Amino acid sequence: MRLSRYFLPVLKENPSEAQIVSHRYMLRAGMIKQQAAGIYSWLPLGYRVLKRIEQIVHEEQARAGHIPLLMPTLQPADLWRESGRYDDYGQEMLRIKDRHDRDMLFGPTNEEMITDIFRAHVGSYKDLPMTLYHIQWKFRDEMRPRFGVMRGREFLMKDGYNFDIDRDAALHAYNRHMVSYLRTYERMGLTAIPMRAASGPIGGDNTHEFLVLASTGESEVFYDAAVTDLKLGARDVDFDNREEVAGICKEFTTLYARTDETHDAALFDQIPENRRRVGRGIEVGQIFYFGTKYSEAMGATVVTPDGSKVPVEMGSHGIGVSRLLGAIIEASHDDKGIIWPEGVTPFPVGIVNLKQGDTGTDAACDGLYKALKAKGLEALYDDREERAGAKFATMDLIGLPWRITVGPRGLANGVVELTSRRTGESVEMSAEAAVDRVV
Ligand code: ATP
Ligand code: MG
Ligand code: MG
Ligand code: MG
């Protein structure tokens, strides 16, 4: 992408409405534009990152054997009357009437609708286990939308629902979600710690939240410092193997890690003092096992192998897709701007032309751009007629992992400069070597 032909409305000034660094940088880097309180347009750079995050979520859901579908944003109120949540949900639910005076709502979550789909089409143990998920916009009329995409009113969520024949199978689905989420967050460069949580309006008695440690997080967290060293890494997990998956969950949930809602001071005090930590965290996901809460209320039953009919066992599992952009930036930035982890960066590399209009420099930049493209990498090429300082500032702000700087002086010696955004280290090398290094 040539920057001269792109739409990257970078702001020079710090927007006064942004209280935390991720919100500030998302506005300054031209990633989002607020349209109403907690409602945003995703400008091209922000949209690219959002799509990369979605892609990782899809890939990891596929690895766990979960099936994507898409449900609508608007839902009929009647479904929620069946579960009893139409009245319970309160003011966070945006209620709408259509032209025929029918009660509708903008979905804050989808337990009722997925249960309705299930009961219409599935009736036998033979079709189980089954996990369906979608990535769809949600609306919650939050009392205090703030911090940009962190607490929006309209936000993008991955929500998945498992259907199983019995409790053990449903707990396996729960564990499968935990492991797939661990891998999902690690691929985004995040350490997200599963913490025992209390169930909210969705209900249920077995639930973990995934928290990214950050001083600006809205949750108070208590944990054993050793949990931050746990890594799933590139383990080849067999998601059908119940023992293996349960073993990984045990590994990640045995050390103390809780939010304030479930914090137990007596247990916490048993951790060696030098490992006790109190801090703040951003909730980037949550998994729930709730059994037959919705299936019983809505009549979603399955026939078991012995011919009896039982309500299907369920759980629901969510990832805050749009909130993740904020969480990643909170976890990875410096005073010049964002530092994107490779897994989610909007472009893998930027090219800075120090002398736009100079035939040799322009040709070298074009060559680099094509060489990167041939290797499957789309560079963001700053081909504007701008001072070098302004170009560097833009690259630092938008945080691409690599910058290749091309100028006449280097080219005379056969070199370009490759700079790592994370370390700030610059090395001169041939253009070919720079391409190889970035790939
Ligand atoms: P919170 O405690 O932050 O209000 P929640 O517990 O109400 O979140 P869930 O119902 O667990 O949210 O939804 C799944 C995920 O969706 C959350 O873990 C979070 O990452 C994300 N999420 C929830 N509310 C918002 C919001 N208003 N804006 C952006 N993301 C959100
Ligand atoms: Mg909430
Ligand atoms: Mg919560
Ligand atoms: Mg939650």
| Distance in Å, CA 239 to ligand 1 centroid | 26
Write down the mean pLDDT value for the chain.
Answer: 96
Q: Which residues line ligand 1 (CB under 6 A)?
A: 109, 140, 142, 151-152, 155, 157, 200, 283-286, 318, 320, 322-323
Q: Which atom of ligand 1 is nearest to the CA of 288?
A: 11
| Distance in Å, CA 346 to ligand 2 centroid | 28
Determine what percent of the chain falls in helix, strand and coil, rounding each to the nearest 5.
35, 30, 35
ipTM of the complex: 0.99
Angle at Cα 364 formed by Cα 363 and Cα 368, nearest 5°?
115
Q: Which atom of ligand 1 is nearest to the CA of 157?
A: 16
Residue range 360-409, pLDDT digits in tens? 999 999 999 999 999 999 999 999 999 999 999 999 999 999 999 999 99
pLDDT band at 201 (very low <50, low <70, confident <90, very high): low
Helices (H) then strands (E): counts for the chain: 14, 23
User: Given ligand 1 and candidates 20, 157, 290, which is best to mutate, with the most ligand atoms within 8 Å of its CB?
Assistant: 157
Residue 211 pLDDT: 98
Residue 48 pLDDT: 98
Residue nearest to atom 8 of ligand 1 (CA): 283
**Which residues place a Cβ less than 5 A from the ion ligand 4?**
286
Q: Report yes or no: 253 and 245 within 8 Å, Cβ to Cβ.
A: no
The bound ligand whose nearest atom lies closest to the alpha carbon of 157 is: 1
Q: What is the pLDDT averaged over residues 290-308?
A: 96
Residue range 396-420, pLDDT digits in tens? 999 999 999 999 999 999 999 999 9
Residue range 209-251, pLDDT digits in tens? 999 999 999 999 999 999 999 999 999 999 999 999 999 999 9
Q: Report yes or no: 255 and 222 within 8 Å, Cβ to Cβ.
A: no
Residue 68 pLDDT: 98
Q: Quick one: what percent of the chain has pLDDT higher than 70?
A: 98
| Distance in Å, CA 381 to ligand 2 centroid | 40
Q: What is the pLDDT averaged over residues 148-164?
A: 98
Residue 439 pLDDT: 81
Return d(Cα 292, Cα 178) in angstroms, integer: 20
Q: What tokens were used for 126?
A: 């033979």
Residue nearest to atom 25 of ligand 1 (CA): 151
pLDDT at residue 202 greater than cutoff 70: no
Q: What is the pLDDT averaged over residues 310-317?
A: 98
Decide: pTM greater than 0.95.
Answer: yes
Q: What is the pLDDT averaged over residues 93-110?
A: 98
Q: Report yes or no: 402 and 350 within 8 Å, Cβ to Cβ.
A: yes
Query: For 64-166, where are the alpha helices, taking DSSP H only?
Result: 77-83, 85-88, 111-121
Q: Quick one: what percent of the chain has pLDDT higher than 90?
A: 97
Of 401, 347, 365, which Cα lies nearest the Cα of 189? 401
Residue 198 pLDDT: 82
| Distance in Å, CA 200 to ligand 2 centroid | 8
Residue 204 pLDDT: 52
Q: What is the pLDDT averaged over residues 260-284?
A: 96
pLDDT band at 205 (very low <50, low <70, confident <90, very high): low
Return d(Cα 173, Cα 220) in angstroms, integer: 28
DSSP state of 227: G
Q: How far is CA 70 from CA 49, 133, 299, in A?
A: 21, 8, 22
DSSP state of 339: -
Query: For 132-282, where are the alpha helices, taking DSSP H only?
Result: 167-187, 242-253, 265-268
The bound ligand whose nearest atom lies closest to the alpha carbon of 284 is: 1
| Distance in Å, CA 209 to ligand 1 centroid | 10
Q: Which atom of ligand 1 is nearest to the CA of 202?
A: 10
| Distance in Å, CA 320 to ligand 1 centroid | 6
| Distance in Å, CA 184 to ligand 3 centroid | 19
The bound ligand whose nearest atom lies closest to the alpha carbon of 107 is: 1
Distance of CA 23 to the CA centre of its chain: 16
Return d(Cα 177, Cα 192) in angstroms, integer: 14
